[in-house]
Structure 1
Amino acid sequence: MTEQRILLHTCRIPVRWGDMDAYGHVNNTIYFRYCEQARVEWLEQGGFMVSLDQSDGPVIINAACTFMTPVTYPATVLVRLYAGAPGRSSLMNWYEISVEGEDTVYAEGSAKVVWMNHLTGKSVPLPESLRKQFEN
């Protein structure tokens, strides 16, 4: 790691039978859903509703995932959400996906979150209350 990362949130997600693909492991698209769930939980716990009803809010401008070991049903995945230092309007998130009860990291991901005005489509400064999570 070249940048300091802060653990912000951990969530538990049961693997559903339908999450698997024809190869008998969790489909690659589902890992992005796992990361999304962790991100939404973290934002909503901080009082930021992920909704177009708000004039400003988070959007994702890129996302990536590296798959190291396949997850299979039945299992419960643990998604650890980390972030680096916030920029003016953006925040990098990183994810570690493991299976509950194991030390192995099954996948690693990242996403860049940008705070955007939904009416103009332009970036806006991150909310001060979000920024305060990174003080100290």
Structure 2
Amino acid sequence: MAAKNETRADYAHFLPIPTRWMDNDVYGHVNNVQYYSYFDTVVNQWLIEQGLLDYINSTVIGLVIETSCAYFSSLAFPDVVQAGLRVAHLGNSSVRYEVGLFRNDDNTVSAAGHFVHVYVDRASNRPTRVPDAMRAALQTLMLPAHA
């Protein structure tokens, strides 16, 4: 699990995500449920950009089976979240993505978490091997210190 002293150097890929007015809660910071949306956005945006996710026609799909988030400092509208992404574990049919959320240009993580995808055959809903092209691309997100 990520630690609060992690920096941008601990992540392999970044996606800027603007916060929205509606992301803030009555306490004046981004509500905790939005953090999971940011996690989902950076992972799926990367998969789509790599040509690895066709959410309408893919015969192999990733289902989320586990998530967590640790909060270290607040995000708030109008911050731009810099979502850092890495792969911490690549198994036969599963991938553990770890995401660090950075406030604007901050170098220290504001929140960090993970989620695990299990890849399944869309028709049978049974676990299947991560496709070779996806496996090769996911390996580019693995950092030696975190693999």
Q: Same fold (TM over 0.5)?
A: yes
Q: CA deviation at 1:9?
A: 2.4
The corresponding residue for 1:45 is 49
Measured in 2, the distance between the counterparts of 1:29 and 1:50 equals 25
Partner of residue 27, structure 2: 23
Q: CA deviation at 1:52?
A: 4.3
What's the counterpart of residue 35 of structure 1? Answer: 39
- Please tell me the residue identity of whatever aligns with 1:12: P
Report how many aligned residue pairs link the two structures.
133
Determine which of 61, 65, 72 is the counterpart of 1:61. Answer: 65
Q: Paired residue for 1:130? A: 134
Q: Distance between the aligned counterparts of 1:59 and 1:37, measured in 2?
A: 14
Question: Percent sequence identity over matched residues?
Answer: 26
* Consecutive unaligned residues in structure 2, runs of 5 or more: 2-9, 143-147
2: CA distance, partners of 1:122 / 1:7: 31
Could you say which residue in structure 1 is the equivalent of 2:17?
A: 13
| Structure 2 match to 1:74 | 78
For structure 1, list consecutive stretches of 5 or more residues without a partner in the other structure.
Answer: none
1:108 counterpart residue number: 112
1:23 deviates by 0.7
Whole-angstrom distance in 1 between the partners of 2:85 and 2:122 = 25
Contact 2:14 2:83 in 1 (8 A): yes
State how far apart, in whole Å, the 2-side matches of 1:31 and 1:24 are: 15
For CA contacts below 8 A with separation 6 or more, give which structure has more relative contact order.
2
- Matches of 2:54 and 2:75, distance apart in 1: 28
1:12 and 1:82 map into 2 onto residues whose CA distance is 15
Kindly report structure 1 stretches of 4+ aligned residues shifted beyond 3 Å. none
- Read off the aligned partner of 1:103 and give its amino acid letter: N
Tell me which amino acid in the other structure corresponds to 2:82.
Answer: L
Q: How many Å separate the matches in 2 of 1:81 and 1:54?
A: 23
CA shift, 1:7, in A, is: 3.9
Query: Which whole-Å CA distance do the structure 2 matches of 1:7 and 1:99 have between them?
Result: 15
RMSD between superposed Cα atoms in Å = 2.1
SS in 2 for 1:105: coil
The verdict on how the C-alpha distance between 1:46 and 1:82 changes in structure 2, with shifts beyond 3 A counting, is same
Offset from partner CA, 1:34-64 (integer Å, 9 cap, x none): 0100000111122122514322111111111
Answer yes or no: is the 8 Å Cα contact 2:89–2:97 preserved in 1.
no
Rounded to whole Å, the distance in 2 between the matches of 1:88 and 1:39 is 19
Shift of 1:76: 0.3
